[in-house]
Amino acid sequence: GAGVSQSPSNKVTEKGKDVELRCDPISGHTALYWYRQSLGQGLEFLIYFQGNSAPDKSGLPSDRFSAERTGGSVSTLTIQRTQQEDSAVYLCASSLGDPSNQPQHFGDGTRLSIL
Amino acid sequence: QKEVEQDPGPLSVPEGAIVSLNCTYSNSAFQYFMWYRQYSRKGPELLMYTYSSGNKEDGRFTAQVDKSSKYISLFIRDSQPSDSATYLCAVSRQLTFGSGTQLTVLP
């Protein structure tokens, strides 16, 4: 079946512009995560959605970052007024339920470059 | 101190070698441990996940957890060039990740 789909796969934009990154999770998966991976670094947790509960936003690095998940399915991560330090790979993952006992499945990420 | 520490490598081994990849973690409350494999320009792929202490084997891969020393390991037997990737350990809920170990298996 289809895995986690992310778009665009690559995004190059100028400093100061806003960007939107999209994640289409596996059908039926109630949990959705966003992570950021910088060159040579591990994955940094950003935000977590579980069903209809309020999202866990504790990993968002600044108020320029926001995310929403419409209808419990597709999610959009928005970065406003992008800065060069925002350049990274943004990864989305989904799982069937509580990620503490259900494995997470990742998309291939969006590679974001801020000029 | 990071919650999860992992030697970044790089690690190069000859084909057929036994590979040992290791992580340490700081929070004794963690009970769920995972290993992911990440090929270049791809998302992480779940390899193994285990609860609590002990070993779990899947083909050429064995995951080992020692909660008393807060130490997790991934062993790869009969390593193949196709195993060349970055291996990431992760613990519990928000998947706190190690920084990854870059492995190259030389033919």
pLDDT digits (tens, 9 = 90+) for A68-93: 998 879 999 999 999 999 999 999 99
* CA atoms of B16 and B25, how far apart (whole Å): 29
* CA atoms of B44 and B87, how far apart (whole Å): 9
Measure CB to CB from residue B32 to each of A33, A100, A105 and give the nearest one: A100
Residue B93 has pLDDT above 70, yes or no: no
* Average predicted confidence (pLDDT) for chain A: 92
Q: Are B44 and A101 in contact (CB < 8 Å)? A: no
Residue A40 has pLDDT above 80, yes or no: no
pLDDT at A100: 67
Residue A26 has pLDDT above 90, yes or no: yes
Q: Which residue on chain A is closest to B35 by alpha carbon?
A: A103
Residue B97 has pLDDT above 90, yes or no: no
In the block, residue with structure tokens 């020692």? B66
A111 class by beta-carbon count within 10 Å (0-12 exposed, 13-18 middle, 19+ buried): middle
Residue B52 has pLDDT above 90, yes or no: no
Bridge partners of residue B62, in order along the sequence: B57, B75
CB-based contacts of A69: which residues, under 8 Å, 6+ apart? A32, A49, A55, A75, A76
Q: Are A43 and B97 in contact (CB < 8 Å)? A: yes
- How far does B92 lie from chain A, in Å, by closest CA? 5
- How far does A42 lie from chain B, in Å, by closest CA? 4
Residue B69 has pLDDT above 70, yes or no: yes
Q: Which residue on chain A is closest to B44 by alpha carbon?
A: A106
